[in-house]
Structure 1
């Protein structure tokens, strides 16, 4: 999710489309939150691991 967010950020910056830039920021933040929560051992959406 973080990788997708970075790709969206770069694409939005290069093309000048603000909605893609905003979606990229949201994806990076959500990915970071999920990575931190998963790294601390908290179950996310009822699952301890995503395969």
Structure 2
């Protein structure tokens, strides 16, 4: 999710498409939050692991 967010953010900035920039930023933030919660050991959505 973080990788997809970065890719969409870069494409959105280079092509000057604001919706891609917005979606990329949101995906990046959500991905980082879920990664941090997973590293801390907090259960997300009732699951302790996502793999």
TM-score category of the 2 structures, normalised to the smaller one: over 0.9
Which consecutive unaligned segments of at least 5 residues does structure 2 have?
A: none
TM-score, normalised by the number of residues in structure 2: 0.96
TM-score, normalised by the number of residues in structure 1: 0.96
How many aligned residue pairs are there?
Answer: 51
**CA root-mean-square deviation:** 0.5
Which consecutive unaligned segments of at least 5 residues does structure 1 have?
A: none
Q: Stretches of 4+ moved more than 2 A in 1? A: none
